[in-house]
């Protein structure tokens, strides 16, 4: 039992690093936080936002996609990502 708890804590710490978030910076300066790495499909970045909703952004509107911990300034987590037509 003494070795079980440290193993569980180590596993939890390792799995926490796997769930990285990404910041999508748009040309107008807005930022969107995605729960996983956005995928480029048919000229659009497809991602899931913090609410779990799927969002689509045309690649021409995206300036940068970077891991959230690597972004240069504060993220705006309140941005609502809705599909863009």
The answer to the question of residue 32 being in a domain is yes
Per-residue pLDDT of the chain (85 residues; tens, 9 = 90+): 667 666 766 665 555 555 589 999 999 999 999 999 999 999 999 999 989 999 999 999 999 999 988 655 444 444 555 555 5
Q: What are phi and psi of 33, to 5 degrees?
A: -100, 125
- Residue at 43 is within a domain: yes
Number of domains the chain is built from: 1
In a domain, 13, yes or no: no
pTM of the model: 0.60
The rounded distance, in Å, linking the Cα atoms of 64 and 28 is: 11
| Residue 10: inside a domain | no
Dihedral of the alpha carbons of 8, 10, 11, 14, in degrees to the nearest 10: 160
Token readout for 75 is: 């993220």
């Amino acid at each position: 039992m003494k070795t079980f708890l440290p193993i569980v804590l180590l596993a939890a710490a390792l799995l926490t690093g796997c769930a990285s978030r990404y910041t999508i910076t748009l040309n107008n300066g807005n930022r969107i936080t995605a729960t996983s790495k956005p995928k480029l499909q048919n000229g659009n970045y497809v991602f899931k936002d913090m609410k779990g909703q799927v969002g689509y952004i045309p690649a021409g509107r995206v300036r940068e996609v970077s891991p959230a911990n690597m972004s240069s300034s504060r993220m705006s987590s309140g941005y609502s990502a809705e599909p863009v037509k």
